[in-house]
Amino acid sequence: MVENILKRAKRFIGLEEELGEEERGGQQMDLGAILKAKREREPKAEGSFDVMVYEPKIYEDSLNISTNLRAGSPVIVNLKHLDPAEGTRLIDFVCGTAYAIDGHMMKIGETIFLFAPSHIAIVSAEERATLSEEVTQTVREKRETFFSR
């Protein structure tokens, strides 16, 4: 029984593949598998995705948030309806899910967090501006080197 619980937990966080129909026996599919199957049926433009926004009212909402994150959707979580202790627990749980799928997390506001799967990069405006300045400076240095010959 403990082994079954561990296998289900590993499948939930994405460390183990879903069971095939013959291995599953009479078990029902979990919500993550249903969402994954639905996404595969829906034609989407390359590079498009849905951003899910959650305002959880109870800690158990962390399961829905993590399921959508595992399915490949970026998730914004606003903790304004949770007390700080439950909010911390929820964010810790979703951070664990993001870590398990090599995803990313960024704190946007006092109670607002952004989680993204590994195929979506989170870049702040300051980082983008710094990168742009570095590229511009490198181009200027190369021009000066070229024209000084």
143 vs 27 pLDDT, higher one: 143
C-alpha pair distances (Å), 65 with each of 12, 47, 98, 126: 12, 21, 11, 28
What's the rounded Cα separation, in Å, for the pair 15 and 8?
Answer: 10
- Residue 73 φ/ψ, nearest 5 degrees: -95, 135
User: Residue 67 above 80 pLDDT?
Assistant: yes
Q: Which residue has the tokens 């570095």?
A: 134
Q: Which residue has the tokens 């937990």?
A: 9
Mean pLDDT computed over every residue of the chain: 75
What's the rounded Cα separation, in Å, for the pair 107 and 87?
Answer: 13
Instruction: Locate 36 and state its tokens.
Output: 């994954």
Domain boundaries, position 87: 2-147
Q: What is the pLDDT of residues 88-122, one digit of tens each?
A: 999 999 999 999 999 989 988 889 999 999 888 88
Tell me the CATH number at 72. Answer: 3.30.110.150
C-alpha pair distances (Å), 96 with each of 23, 25, 75, 79, 144: 28, 29, 14, 17, 48
The domain total for the chain is: 1
C-alpha pair distances (Å), 128 with each of 14, 122, 140, 143: 31, 10, 18, 23
Residue 126 pLDDT grade (very low, low, confident, very high; cuts 50, 70, 90): confident
